[in-house]
A and B are shown apart, each in its own frame.
Chain A
Amino acid sequence: MAGKLATLKSLIDWRQPGGLLSAVGHVALLVASVAAFASSKPFAPATEAAPVDVISEQQFNELTRGEKQGVKLPEPRVRADRVAEIQKQNDPGEAKKDVPAEPAKSEPPKAEIEKPEPPKQVAAVPPVRPPELRAVRTPLPTPPEKPEEPEEEDAKAELPKRQPPKPEPKPEPKKEDLTKLLEEQKRAEEQLKAEEKRKADEKLAAEKRKAEAEKKAREEREKRLKEQAEAKKLEDAIRQKLLTSREAPSSSGATAAQTSQQASLGTETATGKRLSPSERSQLVGLLTEQMNRCLNIPPGAMPRSTPIISIQLSRDGAIIGGPTLTNPRNEAGYTPFAEANMRALRGCAPYRIPARFMDSYNDWKNLSIGVIPPNG
């Protein structure tokens, strides 16, 4: 209390003016800072650039279009190619399998222990052979035919050919030439002998080579056969495994609780392909050409402005709505001219429409035709 009094006294003591000065200074500072921070300068707004792709209305319709002829189910479903696996993750420490709790004895036992039924769709789908299995079946490598044997035969057949040709029958020797002939015969015999010896050597060497080649070929054949047998064994094992495996056929489609092949539905009235301007003028030209056969303009009905008649056409060219005049006017001769045209349109129906316009039917289903007056 005394300290507080002293502090209060010190506030008005002229020798200790600190408290007063400090308070005044702080108030001044506060006022100054309030004035200085009265308004904060906002940042210049930064504009962000966002990439924009411009698509036409037609493209948008193409995007949003669904299947027009789809059957509408009573309940909409998401398209799913296969049934989703249900993965149950038990808490750590719990048993991996769910063991049904013992039923209370007072209650009837079967209410709780009912097992979840396996999804029906899976059972109904016949097991499809996986593509791997199909692939394995076809390309069994055929064992190569034995190419060596005919060659062997050929070699045998060749052997007699190599033998020296038979000596020609000897001509009758004359007496004076006898010695000469003898000498000649001797030389010839010697030559023949040498030749025979050489040929025999050659034959021996050839036989040796042939035996070696045969041995090599046999070894190779044996090796190949062994390899083939091993490959076949492996294939058999794989096939056996695939046949006995009970895995469901795998596919990577969308998953859901049930399979559903229903595509998303589109509307009949959604626009599909559109007519190009030239195609549209072609179609209108076709229609007016056909219509002109029935046209009978009353005399004097020659307006200046062009009546525009709108009709609804079916796919086969019949008029299913209209024709109606979209721009009625109070002009002399206008209404008779327009009515004559409408009569003609009605009279010449149905119109022949080429097949190339069929896929853009939604665009020309409601058609407006401007009938230009002959002198207009």
Chain B
Amino acid sequence: MPGTEPHTDLSLIALFLAAHWVVKLVMIGLAGASIWSWAIIINKSIALRGVAKRMDDFEDQFWSGQSLDELYRGLMNKTNDGFAALFVAAMTEWRRAFEGSGSAFASLQTRIDKVLDVSISREIERQESKLLVLATIASVGPYIGLFGTVFGIMTTFRSIAASKNTSLAVVAPGIAEALFATAIALAAAIPANIFYNKFVRDSGKIQGRLESFADEFSAILSRQIDKHNAGDRTRGAA
């Protein structure tokens, strides 16, 4: 290629180095956003897969006919998530009622329900953490890229006006570098958007499972409470 064009080197690095500093800043920011969003995507998918697997395992254990107290003793000193967290929270409340005086039985059912609700919301919160970042990158990324592009084209046109040369060889590198910003933005925003949707749906599914488990477990505990109350009364009558 003859050396008549002002930018003979059209590699990406040359494009980046030739850009205006605002455009450079936009490009760096978008590259950072892309790295961050992919980090979140990888971590989140690993975490969600782990939670789903542990929930399956716990369900198997729970319905295997094992004693609940035994199960509780096994889980008590671990950091738990999913069903295990709910189970431990509810069992802690249950056992606390037995440790104190008998009068604590009166509203035990209500307290257990409250504890279950709180644990569910804590679990969901943990699963949905950092999804907001993905959502922001997905929605705002293209705008930031567009800003970089517009700015780059603006500076290109200004330099065209200054050089009084309208040949396409003068215009093209500036526009290519400006469009590079949009390309980075799209590369960051598209996966962020796709995985954001996937994660929202996955965590919604987990929330449904947690709620149904909480209801079931609450029902079981309620039966135990009623049995205990009936025993108390027969003992009182005797």
Contact = CB atoms under 8 A, between A and B. Distances in A.
Given A16-B46, A23-B35, A26-B31, A39 B40 contact: no
B76 to A, nearest CB: 22
B188 to A, nearest CB: 10
B238 interface: no
B182 interface: no
A16 B39 CA distance: 9
A16, A18, A23, A25: which has the most chain B beta carbons within 10 Å? A18
A290 B36 CA distance: 105
A179 to B, nearest CB: 135
Given A18-B38, A22-B38, A26-B31, A37 B43 contact: no
A15 B31 contact: no
A34 B11 contact: yes
B35 A26 contact: yes
B178 to A, nearest CB: 15
Given A18-B38, A26-B38, A38 B31 contact: no
Given A26-B31, A26-B34, A42-B1, A19 B39 contact: yes
A26 B36 CA distance: 10
B222 to A, nearest CB: 37
Nearest to A37: B12
Contacts of B11: 34, 37-39
A34 B12 contact: yes
Contact of A21 (B13, B34, B39, B44): B39
Interface residues of A, number: 20
Interface in A1-35: 10, 15-23, 25-26, 30, 33-34
B13 A34 contact: yes
B41 interface: yes
Interface string B25-59: 00000010011111111111011000000000000
A108 to B, nearest CB: 51
A33 B14 CA distance: 13
B10 A39 contact: yes
Q: Is the interface of A mostly helix, strand, loop or mixed?
A: helix
B193 to A, nearest CB: 16
Contacts of B36: 22
Among B35, B40, B44, the one with the most A-chain Cβ atoms within 10 Å of its Cβ is B35
A17 B12 contact: no
B40 A18 contact: yes
A23 B42 CA distance: 11
Contacts of B46: 15-18
Contacts of B43: 10, 16-19
A40 interface: yes
B42 A18 contact: yes
Contacts of B42: 17-18, 21-22
A33 B13 CA distance: 10
Given A26-B34, A42-B1, A18 B39 contact: yes
A33 B12 contact: yes
Nearest to A42: B1
Interface in A28-69: 30, 33-34, 37-40, 42
Nearest to B34: A26
Nearest to B169: A42
Contacts of A37: 10-12
A207 B50 CA distance: 138
Contacts of B37: 22
Nearest to B50: A15
Nearest to A16: B43
Nearest to B183: A33
Interface of A: 10, 15-23, 25-26, 30, 33-34, 37-40, 42
Given A19-B43, A21-B38, A23-B35, 16 more contacts: A16-B46, A18-B38, A18-B39, A19-B35, A20-B39, A21-B42, A22-B35, A22-B37, A22-B38, A26-B34, A33-B12, A34-B12, A34-B13, A37-B10, A40-B10, A42-B1
7 contacts: A16-B43, A17-B43, A26-B35, A33-B12, A34-B11, A34-B13, A37-B12
Which are the 6 A-B pairs with shortest beta-carbon distances? A18-B42, A18-B43, A22-B38, A18-B39, A19-B39, A22-B39
